[in-house]
A and B are shown apart, each in its own frame.
Chain A
Amino acid sequence: MHSTDRSEDDASRSPQTGFRAWLNRRTGVDSLLRTALDEPIPGGARLAYIFGSGLLFIFLSQIITGIFLALYYVPAADHAHTTVAYMTKVVTAGSFLRSLHSYGASAMVIVLLLHLSQTYVYGAYKGRRELLWISGCVLFGLVMAMAFSGYLLPWDQRAYFATAVGTNAIGEVPLVGGMLTRLVRGGTEMGTLTISRFFVAHVFFIPACIFALVASHIFLFRNAGAAGPATENPYKPTSKSEPFYPRQVFMDLSLTALLLVGLGLLAFFVAVPLGPAADPANAQYVPRPEWYYLPIFQWLKYWHGSAAVIGILLIPMILIIAVIALPFLDRSIERRPWKRPVAIGAYAFVLFALVGLGLRSQYVDKHDPGVAQQIAKQRIEEQEYMRKPFEPDLSPASLAAANVVLADPLAAKGKTVFVAQSCNACHGDAGIGTVVAPALVGMSVKFTSDQLTDLFKHPTAKMNAGGMPPVELPPDDMKALIAYLESLK
C-alpha cells in the first residue's frame, strides 16, 4: 500500500512520457540525484553547515563572470588597462560584472573563513577526515592565490603597486627568494610577462587545480560522511539523521541567494573603481593590498635583517604545517569546543592576531599624515579617472601614419607625391601594405635610391603582373618620393 502511494506520487512528479525514464536508463540521473540529495546528516539540517555550498556557488559565479570578462580582456601590459577601462566605461553592464567579480573575490574569502571556522570549532576535521581537512587547506591556499593573481590583471596603479610589493615579499624568502620573484614576475621587473603569467595562473592553472580539489573535497566529504553536531562521535554518529534534501538544501540555497542578491546590489550601487593606468615611474604611490592581505602586509613590516628568516619563513611555515597536520596532531575524539581549550584558544589567538594586524595597518596609515594624505589623493585620482570618458588606444598602424609628420621637408613633399600618385591606394597609408600590394616599409634597406628609381621606371615582370604601373615623374618629385620611402621604417 505504502509503496503504491509512493510510486503514484513519483508518477505525478515526473510525467511518464518515457523521456525521463529513457534519460534515466541512459544516464542513471535519478540515482545520481538520489545519492546527492539523500546524503544523511546526523542530527539534522543546521544553518551552521551552509558555508560549503555557499562557497561552491560563489565560485560558480566567479567562473561565469570571469569567462564573460575575458570577452573583452587582453592580458598584455600595453592593453590590459585599456581593455578593462573599455569594459567598465563603455560596454553595457561591464562595470556591474567587473564589480560582481571583484566583490565575489572578497565574499569568497569571507565565506571560506566562515566555513573553516565552523569546521574547526565543530571539530569536524576529526575522525576519518584527515584528507578532507588537508584538501580544504590546499583549497584555501588556491583561493588566496586566485585573489592575488586576479588583483593584478586590471593593471591600474593600485593593482600594479600592490602586486609589486607582494612579489617583492616573495623575494624575502632566504636563498631562493630572488629566483622565486623572477619566476613569478617572468623577469626582474614587473611587466607584460608578469601579466601573462598571472593571467594564465588566474584563468587556467589555479582554476584547474580548484576543480580537481573541489571534486576530491566533496568526494572525501561524502566518503567520511557529514560530521553532524559537535556532540557527535566523529567516527560513529549516533543521532537520528535527516537527508540533505530538502531542509539543508533549502538553507544552503537561501545563503547562496542572499549572497548573490547582496553582491548584485553592492555591485550595482557601489561600482569597484578602476584607477589610472599603472605608471611604474610613480615614486610617490603608496601601495596597499586588498583587506585580506593586510595582516600579512603588516606582519612583514616587523621583520628586518637577520631576524627576517624567523618572521617571514619560520613562523609562517610552522603555522602552515600545524594547520595542515591538525587532524594528525589532535587525535582525540572530543569535538565539543568547550572541552578543547587548547585548540580553541590557539584558533582565537591566530584569529585575533590577524584581525589585530589588519587593524594596526589601518591605524598606522591613518596616523601618518604623509601616508594618509597620499592615500586620500590616490582615491581622488581613481574617482577622477572613473569620471573621464573612455579614451581608445591608438593602433600601431596609426602611429606609423602619425610618425610621417616628417622632419625632413623632402620626405614630406614625397608624401604628397605618394598620395597624388595613388601609391597609397594599393600600398596603403604610409606604405603599410594592403591585400593587393606589399608593404613598402623598410624598402630602403633592400634597395639603394638609384635602384628604387630604376625599379619605378622599369618595373620587374613580377611587379607588372601585380598591376604596378611604371612611375613617370619629374626628377624632383622622384627624389622626394624616394626620400619619403626611405623614411618609412
Chain B
Amino acid sequence: MPAPTELTGPPEPVPGDPEVTLELARAHQLSDEEYERILALLDGRTPTFTELGVYSVMWSEHASYKNSILQLKTLPRSGGRLLVAAGEENAGLVDIGDGWAVAFKIESHNHPSAVEPYQGAATGVGGILRDVFTMGARPIALLDSLRFGSPSDRRVRYLFDGVVRGIADYGNCVGVPTVGGELYFEDAYRGNPLVNAMAVGIVHHDRVLRATAEGAGNSVIYIGSRTGRDGIHGATFASEELSEESTSRRSNVQVGDPFTEKLLLEATLALAETDALVGIQDMGAAGLTCSSCEMAGRGGAGILLDLDRVPLREPGMTPYEIMLSESQERMLVVAKRGREHEVFEIVRRWDLQAVEVGSITDDGRMRATSGGKLVIDIPVESLVLGGGAPHYEREAEAPEPVTFSARTGEPEDFSAATLALLASANIASRRHVFQQYDHMVRANTRVGPGRGDAAVVRVPGTRKALALATDCNARLLRIDPREGARQAVAEACRNVACAGATPLGITNCLNFGNPYKPAVYWTFREAVAGMGEACRALAAPVTGGNVSFYNENPGGAVYPTPVIGAVGLTEDVERTTGMGFVREGEAVFLLGPSETGWAGSEWQALQGDEPAGALVPIDLELEAVLQRFLIRSVNSGWVSAAHDLSEGGLVVAIAEMALASPGRRIGAMIELEEVTALALFGEGPSRVAVTVPVAEMDAFEQAAEAEGVPAQWLGTTGGDGIGFRTVFSVSMHELARAFDTGLGRALGLIESAAVS
C-alpha cells in the first residue's frame, strides 16, 4: 500500500469512466444545488465519477436523512436507561441491569421487496441483524412488520409469499428466532409493500463494540463475502418513487447468504471478546462508502483505502462499483495497529476472509487509491449527517381532511359480525406465517407468536425477560397523523405492558410517501410530533430507527405508517402473561375507558369504506397510569391474562383470548349491560381485557380504584364459546373455523392451510 504521504495532487479519472456533468449528477438523484455544493466543497474541482457516486449515496435520503433529520431531532432521543443517544451507533442500546444491555433497531427493506420479494426481505433481515451484532450483541429475537395490498390481488399474493419465505429462510438459517410482528392488508400498499424488520440483541456493557474509526495508523480490515456488482446504488434506489421501470432495477437488489451471515455473527462476537478492535460497521446500504465514511466521521479521523486489495467476485470492477456495491454479509473493522493477527486468526477460524484494505489517517479526508493512483479525495466531514450532508425543512401543507363516509352501517347480526371480523385477513390467525419461522431456536421463547400481545424472550443466563412488540394502526394516521402516531406509540408500549414488562424505549420505522409533496411532508411532521408527545408521556425514548420515504407509485402513496417497535423489561420470566384464558371461573375485566367509535375500525374497512370519521382521542396521562397499573397487576399475580383491545374491538379480543386458551377449551360469558354494536365492535384507545382469579379480585379492584384506572367487571371465563348475556353467543368451533381459515381463504391457499 502506498504511504499516505506519497499521494499528492487531485484524484484522477479512471479510464472508461463517464465525464462528470450536471446531467450525470441529476441522474444520481442529486439536485442542481447539491451538485453546486459538491463543487464548492471540492474547491471548484469537478469530482471524479467515483467521487460523484460517493456523494450521491452519502447524500441520499437513505444515508443522510436530509428531509427528516430536522423533525427527528424533536423526538426524545436520550435519557432513561439509554446508554447511547439515538443515531450514534448502529443500533440503540439500553441498560437492563446487572451489567447487561439490550441492543435493538427496526429498519425497512420496502423498495427491494417490491421488485424482488424473496431477496428483498431476506437481506432486510440480514441487514438489521448485522446492525445489532456489530454492537457486540448476540441477537436473541427478530420481529417483522409487513404490509401488503389486498390479499385477493395476484401480485400481492406473489409478493406476500416471497417476503415470508425470504424472512423464513434467512432468519431460520442464521438461528435467530422470529418471535413476532404484524401483518396487514390494505389497498394503499398494493404497489408498495412495507417490509420492516426488527432485531434485538443482548450484550454485556464491557463488550459493546462501537462504530468508530480513530487513531492514525490503525488498520482497516475487510471481513466477509467478496464484493460483487449486486446492489449497486441500492441506497439511491430506496430514495425515489417506484415506477413502471422499477422492475428493471432488480439488479439494485442484493442477494443474501444466511450461512455466511451466521459465520460473520460468530466471528464478530468472538472479536468482541478481545480488545483488538477500535470500531466495526456493517457494509450495508452504500456498502464500503457508508461504513468507511461514517466510522471516520464519528471518530473525527481520515481514512485511506486501497481498492486493489478489496476481495472481488469478478475481475474488472471499477472503483465506482467497488465503493458502491451493496454485496451482503461484509463488515469493515478498524483494528489496533499490531493486533491485526488476532483479527485474522478469529475470522479465519470461521472460514471467512479478512484483508487489510487501508489505514486510519489524521487528515480528516476520505481517500482511496486504485492502481496506485488516487481516485477519491474528499473531506469526510462534508459527507456525513451532522456534517456537510444537506438537510432540509420542506414545504408542508395540510391535505384536505378526510370526510366522514356515511356508508358504514352498524353490524346487525352480532354472531355473523363476530365471525366476519375473526376471518378478516387483518385479524385471522397468522399461523400460516409464523409456522414458517423458527420462533423457538435458542430455547428462550416463553411467549411466542399468537400467544400474547408481545413476545416474551428470556435474557439468556438470567431470570430477566424482554417483551417485544411492533405496532401501527395506519388507518388512524390516514385520518389524523398526529393522533394516530400517539396511539401507535401507546399501543406498542401497551402490548409490552400486557406481558407485565416495563417499556424501556422504542425504535421506529417511518414509512411515508414522497417528502417533496407538501401534503406528505405535513403528514410526516404531524406524525413525528404525535410520536414525540406519546414517547414523553410514557417515558419511552426513541433509541433509533429508520426513515423510508418515497413509498409511492403512480397510484398514490401508502398510508402514513410509522411502525413502532417497543422493548420492555421484566425481572422474572415466569411472572409474565400471555393473552389466552388460563382457568375457568376467573373474572374478566375491562381496563380503561369505555368510549369507542367506528373511525378507522376494522368493521369500517370490512364494509369497503376508506378510513374516515373522528377518532376517539387518547388521553396519554390515563394511558401512562393504565400501563403502570397493568404491569403492577401482572407482577402482583392479580392478572392471569391480558389482551389489548385493538382491531375488531371487545368481541374480537374476548374471542382471541378464548382461542389462545389451553386446548381451546375455555370460553367466556360476558354480562355487559348494554350489548350495543358500538360497545361490541367499536374501537378506541387505552383499553385492555384482563382475567383476574377470584381470590385476587378485591386487591385488584381496590388498587385500580386507588390509582384511578377504570376497571369494569365484564363476566366470567368458562364454557365452550363466547356469550354476551342472552343476546348472542358463538361456539368455540365456529370461532376457531373463522379464525383459522380466514387468512388462507383470503390468500387463496385454503387447501394447503387445511393440511398444515
Q: Do A and B bind each other?
A: no
